[in-house]
Structure 1
Amino acid sequence: MTAAATVARWGSASTRRQLLAGGSTGRQIAAAVRGGGIIRVRQARYVLPSTRPEIVAAVRLGARLAGPSSAHTYGLWAGFDKRIHVSVEPHATRLARVPRRVVLHWDAPPLRVDAECWRLDIPTTLRQVVAWCDRETALACLESALGQLSVADLLAVFEGESAAARLLASRARPGCGSGAESLVSQRLAGRGIRVDRQVRIAGVGDVDMVVRGTRLVVEVDGRTYHQDPTAFENDRRRDAELLRRGYVVVRLSFEAVTTRWEWCESMVLGALATRAWNPVLPA
């Protein structure tokens, strides 16, 4: 395996020790650097030319992506904080100059030989998100993590944490296909509107959520929804089937949920005030 292939296997950044363990010799590593296949950004730290800037920034500091920045790399909800959060070990030394957009934290656990050198693991990431972020962002992150962890595993992550952190973890419910769905569910709950998630409807399939006691379906489109014409057409068919079965459908875009929530809320409240208040009828 080439040095560049080893770096890629570790997620686009690796340590010298990991390169050596991958079969590269010191001479081969040096040759890969001279040839431009890998870049040495810090003593014993290497990245690819294509490595994302936030990863390079973390590795160059001798840090790892942390909290919401790390969550984003795992496909978890990370909120709207555009800064780069990185973490170093409490007694770290020889740090490079911290760039303006980088937030440095001093709580990273020791780097294991078999761990990625550019981001923290999921359990540590989740604990940081709960500690650093607002409640809505933290709960959305935890609920998006339930696509990768079981409920029991998630609760275990917070054993030994504060009572507030354990309570928040206990409120995370599975069934959210995205962080935006969690935001919708949380915000509707704040208005006293409870929903059931991932409800299976005969002839249609699973829908994102149904307001309890009604036939109001709320669907939340993903960030890249309009880039997939097949998904777009399939959802038009599903909406028609739902209407034929007596359901009212409110479809919210990612952009609307994250930037125009008042409008989204008015759509749901309007539907509840008109056609969707009827008790659920047999399917």
Structure 2
Amino acid sequence: MGLRPQVPSLSTAVAAGQLTGGWSGHGRPVHATLRTLLDRRGGLATRRDVLRVAPPWTLQSACRAGRLVRVLPQVYVDATLVRDTPTELPILARIDPELARRAALAYGGGRAALSRLTALDVWGLRRQPPGEPMHLDLPVGSGLSGRPHLVVRRRPGFTTEPPHAVIRRGVPVTRLDRTLVDCWPLLPTVDRAGVLIRAVNDRLTTPQRLVAALGEVPRLIARPALRALVDRLAAGCRSPLEIWGHDHVFTGPGMPAFTRQARVRVGGRTIYLDMFAEAERVDIELDGATSHGDPTEREIDLRRDALLATKGILVVRFSHRRLLADPAQVRQETLAILASRRLGPMIT
């Protein structure tokens, strides 16, 4: 569970010159209790919150005077927290994203969780660009609908607790595997694979959990492509290059069933092998487009390969350029190396 983000108080922000306008000095003063409430809650309050501590006229007066702005039904923020430009944007798009998320959750009345692209941002896997709507999941029957800059989805039996949602960075969000599946058709095509690969590589989820989540959404757009990617991740592929190699080079007649990300202990170290042919004791390493640009990184690889040689493991490296430009030749060389290892060392 993450820590709840710290929101500066209104008085601190005003003192630091971060906000414009004010709550006094022009027109009728705002009720001191309302100001205290907003200060304590980082500039946001619901109508219910206000009516617990002040009479209705206080809220009405603050809105008429331009001190408060309604960002969603029953949800208000201090007007000094609303950016002046561009004024054609919805109010939710003109306040800090974190404040906008708090406002959306307040609108949900404790029954909502951030979902899809907004949840993906909270999980730290993709930042939502300015202007992209927020997403909120609610149970069926909530009676709430979408608003400008806020997309609402109603799900049967949805709750803000597991297995539907968890707390991340202090706010309820849909669980990551379901978030990734839901986001698949919403993401730009070029970003889809990278987000899922990163989530698995960072051990935030697993291919098995993604398969289970995919089963919850049988009519997902572009489902076959997602299932193919999850299958490659389950096979051990951990980069777009490895997936391409799996599909075009290292499977088929003559190729062994490589163990991907095989774990080997050598010299007190744990080393993970990209593709390990155990019977032949061959490790195929696929070097990315930026690999070995740094001599220090090259030296690290050489030492690693030497350690593996003490265990009788031959390391064969193929560059990003060669793999993509001449896959047939890479395949031929791989088959020849594997065949020679099966025959044993040649004597001349």
Distance 1:126 1:249 in 2: 35
1:74 maps to which residue? 125
- Could you tell me whether the CA contact under 8 Å between 1:144 and 1:179 is conserved in 2? no
- Could you tell me whether the CA contact under 8 Å between 2:241 and 2:286 is conserved in 1? yes
Distance 1:32 1:206 in 2: 50
Question: How many residues in Structure 1 have an aligned counterpart in Structure 2?
Answer: 224
- Could you tell me whether the CA contact under 8 Å between 2:177 and 2:210 is conserved in 1? no
Report the 3-state secondary structure (helix = DSSP H, G, I; strand = E; otherwise coil) of the residue aligned with 1:181. Answer: helix
Distance 1:180 1:86 in 2: 32
Of 234, 239, 246, which residue of structure 2 is paired with 1:178? 239
Give the aligned residue type for 2:272.
Answer: D
1:128, distance to aligned residue in structure 2 (A):
4.6
Distance 1:34 1:161 in 2: 38
Q: Give me the TM-score of the superposition, normalised by structure 2.
A: 0.44
Q: Report the CA distance shift for 1:266/1:221 in structure 2 as closer, same or farther (over 3 A).
A: same
1:149 maps to which residue? 205
1:233 maps to which residue? 299
Distance 1:40 1:190 in 2: 54
1:207 maps to which residue? 273
RCO comparison, higher one (Cα < 8 Å, 6+):
1
Report the 3-state secondary structure (helix = DSSP H, G, I; strand = E; otherwise coil) of the residue aligned with 2:242. Answer: helix
Does residue 24 (structure 1) correspond to residue 24 (structure 2)? The answer is: no
1:270, distance to aligned residue in structure 2 (A):
1.1
Does residue 158 (structure 1) correspond to residue 214 (structure 2)? The answer is: yes
1:277, distance to aligned residue in structure 2 (A):
4.2
Once the two structures are superposed, residues 162-219 of structure 1 have per-residue CA deviations (whole angstroms, 9 ceiling, x without a partner) of 3975964566416444343333233335544332111234537221112464333222
Q: How does 1:1-283 map to 2 (within 5 A)?
A: 1-2=6-7, 23-25=41-43, 30-31=79-80, 42-45=90-93, 46-47=95-96, 66=117, 74=125, 94=148, 109=153, 114=171, 122-129=177-184, 145-146=199-200, 147-162=203-218, 168=228, 169=230, 172-173=233-234, 175-192=236-253, 193=255, 194-203=257-266, 205-211=271-277, 213-222=279-288, 225-226=291-292, 230-243=296-309, 245=312, 247-253=314-320, 256=321, 261-264=324-327, 266-274=329-337, 277-279=340-342
Once the two structures are superposed, residues 87-137 of structure 1 have per-residue CA deviations (whole angstroms, 9 ceiling, x without a partner) of 978x85657xxxxxxxxxx9x736989457xx9955233245379899xx9
Q: Give me the TM-score of the superposition, normalised by structure 1.
A: 0.52
Give the aligned residue type for 1:178.
Answer: S
Once the two structures are superposed, residues 223-277 of structure 1 have per-residue CA deviations (whole angstroms, 9 ceiling, x without a partner) of 6544665443211212234456351412434xx38xx614255234313224664
Give the aligned residue type for 1:197.
Answer: R
Larger mean Cα displacement after TM superposition, 227-236 or 153-162: 227-236
1:149, distance to aligned residue in structure 2 (A):
1.3
2:63 maps to which residue? none
Q: Report the CA distance shift for 1:92/1:25 in structure 2 as closer, same or farther (over 3 A).
A: closer
Which stretches in structure 2 are left out of the alignment for 5+ residues? 1-5, 10-37, 45-66, 68-76, 98-114, 137-144, 161-169
- Could you tell me whether the CA contact under 8 Å between 2:176 and 2:205 is conserved in 1? no
Mark the structure with the bigger radius of gyration.
2
Q: Report the CA distance shift for 1:183/1:88 in structure 2 as closer, same or farther (over 3 A).
A: same
Q: Report the CA distance shift for 1:29/1:238 in structure 2 as closer, same or farther (over 3 A).
A: farther
- Could you tell me whether the CA contact under 8 Å between 1:214 and 1:280 is conserved in 2? no
1:157, distance to aligned residue in structure 2 (A):
0.6
- Could you tell me whether the CA contact under 8 Å between 2:194 and 2:240 is conserved in 1? yes
Distance 2:274 2:39 in 1: 45
Which stretches in structure 1 are left out of the alignment for 5+ residues? 5-19, 49-63, 76-83, 96-105
Distance 2:329 2:252 in 1: 11
Give the aligned residue type for 2:214.
Answer: F
Distance 1:153 1:234 in 2: 34
Give the aligned residue type for 1:249.
Answer: V
- Could you tell me whether the CA contact under 8 Å between 2:116 and 2:179 is conserved in 1? no
Give the aligned residue type for 1:24.
Answer: G
1:101 maps to which residue? none
Distance 2:175 2:290 in 1: 27
